[in-house]
Each structure stands twice: as C-alpha cells, then as structure tokens.
Structure 1
Amino acid sequence: MMRGDLDDACTDWRERWDCLVRKIERVQTAAQEKQLLARLGQPDGPFVLAFANAHAMNSLANSVPFFDALRSADMVLRDGSGMATLFKLLRLQPGLNLNGTDLIPQLIRQFDGRCIAFYGTQEPYLQRALQLGAREFAPNSRFVSAHGFHDTGVYTGLALLHQPALIVLGMGMPRQEEVAAALRSVLTFPCLIVCGGAIIDFLGGKTPRAPMWMRRKGLEWAFRLGMEPRRLFQRYVIGNPLFLTRALRLASLRRA
C-alpha cells in the first residue's frame, strides 16, 4: 500500500500505528534537541505539538477520532520507554526520550516575555502551576489560565481574547488533542499549542515526579502506578502488556 493510500485508509490499528510511527520526529542528540527547542520557540502560525507514548498508541488503536486528532498535530515526539521498545523492535533508532514533563518547562523558558496560557487541571493546582511558571521559568511573561473542564469554545474564545504565544494544555488524552485541533483551526496568530498531559498537575504539586533514578531507567510509569493504582491500573497493568503484544505483532508483520 502506498503512503498516500495508507493515510487515507488507516482503518486497522496496525495501519494507524504504522502511520503514526512514521510521523513521530525522533531527535538523536542534545544539539538537535536544542535546535528543536529554538524552532518550537518561534512558530510562524498556530502550531500543535503532541507526544506519543504507549497509552496514546493503545488509545489510537481503539479510537479513529483520537488517531485523527493526534495525526493532525504539526509535530509528534516520542515519549517514554515503551515507545523506545517499539522503535527498536521495528529496527529504528528511537532517539532521545522527549517526554512532555521534562520538555515543556524548557519550552516555557523559550517564551519568557510573551503571553503564556495554561488550560487544564483544577484549583488550587492551576494557580500553583502558574506561580511556579512565573517564578522559575518565565518571570517576564503574562500568564492567563482556565481549568480543564470547560467546553471547547471557552478555550478558543480565551485564546482569541488574550492571543498567547504559548498554550499549554493539561487535560489528558484524548481531550487535549481535540482541543488543540480546535484551537489551531480558529487561531490566526503565531502560537505554539502543546498537548501536555499531566504537566500542569506536576507543576502545581498535585502529582509528584518519580525519583531521578527511576526516570533514567524508564520506570516513572511504575512510580505513578504506585501513587495512583486505582486510576492507572487499566493504563499500565492492562495497557503495557497489550502495547508490547501489539508492538511485537507490528514488528513481525514488517519483517514478513
């Protein structure tokens, strides 16, 4: 099947996975990461940045609308050790782990001096995240915010009103990808729109980070599962083996 035909079809989870794997931009060196940050810091129009992790791949296997929203992002980066395993099984270099939790604070620094919007989570964590952002990352910026439970039109209206140069969405999948696509469809000014997952919760102190040694070994998911076993049981205990099974299946089909 030709790539154009694949992009039009994508009716099977294997086709959707294959399509997204090809879309993910892999960064191999620290120098390339620095160049990427500089490029993202100067968007020439509305630009959506998303991240693909094992949970995202499982989700798009079951949801064509989520796949369409994620595929419509202007850039997708690899997030997590599960995705590194997938790329290795496909005999591709996985590149650096550019997870949003570590990358987004660096992006916020790139936008210091310009308006920044946080849309997501709830109080008091939202205000705590804003305070941390203003204190640690962008002291010269004006911050605007909204909690993560409004209708989509509220976010597009606020963005049109304040015209932030950076919008960080912290609503979780698939909601944030849907909102990101809606924002890009109506905004006309330069703006980086980031699908940030739990980033606002992390910045606001609602969700703690794993110890550094666990992050380096790709085990932050295990730490999060230990902190929230009931909420994350389906994602990790059920989802991780399912992701690996699908990854092995896709790799075997590619080698066939």
Structure 2
Amino acid sequence: MDSVKILNVQIDNLSMQELLERLTSGVVYTPNVDHLVKLQRDSSFFKVYNDADYRVCDSKILMYVSRFLGSPIREKISGSDLFPAFYEYHKDNPDIRIFLLGAKEGVAAAAQQRINAKVGREIVVATHSPSFGFEKDEAECDRILEMIRESGATVLAVGVGAPKQELFIHKYKDQLPNVKIFLAIGATIDFEAGNVKRSPKWISEAGLEWLYRLTAEPKRLWRRYLVEDPLFFWLVLLQKLNVYTNPLRNSSSDLDRIDYGTPREALAAE
C-alpha cells in the first residue's frame, strides 16, 4: 500500500472508496496537524500510532504539505467524513454493528437515533458517554468493555479526543474479540448528533477548518492552534531540507515499558 511520510508518521495514500473496500478489520487513525505535533514528544502516542493498520489524512493542510514535500496525498479522509461514509457503505450489511463511545451525556444517544434513522436499521446498537478522566479508572474501563461485549458490536467508534481515544483502543482492543474494526473519530459524535456544527465545506476545502473551530471554541482551542501547532511548519521545512530527525526514533523498541493509561497528554482534556 502506498504511503507518504510526513515527519515521523507514514500516512496511507488511499481514496475514501479504497479504504471502505479494504476495511474489513483493523484500527484506523486519522492524523492531522495537532496529532503530528503531539507525535514529536509523546512516545506512548507515537508507538500506538505506529501500531495502527490504517493512518489516513485528516487535514487539508497535510495535503498541501505533502505536495510541498513532493509526495502528494490523494484525498483528505477526516474522521468526520469517514464515519458517515462508513455507515452508509455498510447500511445493508448486518455484520456491521456499531458501538459509539464518547461525547457528553446524551449526545452519543442522540447521534445513535439520527444515524439509525438515516440508515434505516439499528446499525448503531449501543452508546456510552464516559465520565471525565475515565481512562484513569480501571473499574470504569472494565464496565465499558463489558457494555461493548454485551452489545454485540463488531465496530467500536471512539470519540474522546487525541491521544486518549488512540491509547484506549490500543490498550483494550485485544479484550474485545468480537470487535473487528476500531475507529478513532474525534468530535464526529457531536457532529452526528447535531450538537456541534461542522465548518462549511468551502472552509474545510480551503484548509481553514482550524480557524472555524478556533472562533467557535476559543477558550478551549487557542493554545492548540496558536501556540502548539505552529511548530509543525518549522519541522516540515526541516524535512524539506533533509535535516529533520525523528525525536522518538529510538522509542519503538520500548513498547512494553509504556503505561498507556497515564501519559502526560492523555490526562489533559481535549
């Protein structure tokens, strides 16, 4: 499978249709600028990311950067585009049964009702909105795993923000043998519930969705977009000049030493 390397991440160079056709099992993450910045300093997030089966481009900015680096990414496949495309693609497939994990109380249930009404069947079989800091509570995580098992779901879509959602999937996926597909989908549950409006398509296509989100939630997102993420463009320039080095290049051999439940970034609210 073709891929494009941006900084220390290999991004699968697939179209949406190709991904939907190939995705019969596995873990899907959707890298964006914020993820790539986190992946410069968080060794546990880096190792978990490397273990995914699919990493597809979540950002128009990454598409522009890939062209600048000389290896164009063919299509943006954000989690909020992939998830509705996924359930529409499988609307008549009874083997696809989805569990939604994430969002605030009642939001995931609202998303379930709207999705099932659109699809015309109970494709979302159950939901759960976890408590703040749930990833640090093993007892709550055990209860969530039991809910997923009892639901009969074959797909788990987790929307609790990065890197918590990726860390959760990696840590617990082997305890969910009936789940074949794991999707990390960020704010998609809020979009599906109608709780949060997505940016207009022209804004997204122009690579300005970050600005739309910043103006909508400045208190929560100002630091991410104005302080942390600009580092990305300096690192891309270093890659273009062939002087970028992966700061975590020696980390991949230490996977078993990592405590996936409590990395510094995972404890922060997204």
Judge same fold: TM > 0.5, yes or no. Answer: yes
**Deviation, structure 1 residue 122:** 1.4
> Is it true that 1:241 corresponds to 2:230 in the alignment?
yes
- The match for 1:25 among 12, 17, 29 is 12
Q: How does 1:111-150 map to 2 (within 5 A)?
A: 111-112=90-91, 113=94, 114-137=96-119, 139-149=121-131, 150=134
Distance 2:151 2:112 in 1: 16
TM-score, normalization by structure 1: 0.82
2:194 maps to a residue whose letter is G
1:183–1:110 distance in 2 versus 1, CA, 3 Å = farther
> Is it true that 1:208 corresponds to 2:197 in the alignment?
yes
1:88–1:61 distance in 2 versus 1, CA, 3 Å = same
Count of matched residue positions in the alignment of Structure 1 and Structure 2: 231
SS at match of 1:215: helix
Partner residue in 1 for 2:209: 220
1:239 maps to a residue whose letter is E
Q: CA RMSD in A?
A: 2.2
1:167–1:225 distance in 2 versus 1, CA, 3 Å = same
Partner residue in 1 for 2:71: 92
Partner residue in 2 for 1:152: 141
Higher mean alpha-carbon deviation, 183-192 vs 206-215, is at: 183-192
**Deviation, structure 1 residue 184:** 2.1
What percent identity do the matched residue pairs reach?
23
Distance 1:222 1:90 in 2: 24
Structure 1: tracts of 5 or more residues without a match: 1-15
Runs of 4+ aligned residues of structure 1 deviating over 6 Å after TM superposition are: none
Structure 2: tracts of 5 or more residues without a match: 135-139, 245-270
**Deviation, structure 1 residue 142:** 4.8
2:13 maps to a residue whose letter is R
Partner residue in 1 for 2:30: 51
**Deviation, structure 1 residue 19:** 3.8
Distance 2:202 2:66 in 1: 23
1:218–1:166 distance in 2 versus 1, CA, 3 Å = same
SS at match of 2:29: strand
Partner residue in 1 for 2:21: 38
TM-score, normalization by structure 2: 0.78
Q: Deviations over 1:130-174 (max 9, x none)?
A: 111111136242520111333433332223222312111010001
Higher mean alpha-carbon deviation, 91-100 vs 107-116, is at: 107-116
Report if aligned partners of 1:155, 1:183 keep a CA contact under 8 Å in 2: no
1:138–1:110 distance in 2 versus 1, CA, 3 Å = farther
1:185 maps to a residue whose letter is D
Distance 1:48 1:232 in 2: 27
Distance 2:192 2:35 in 1: 22
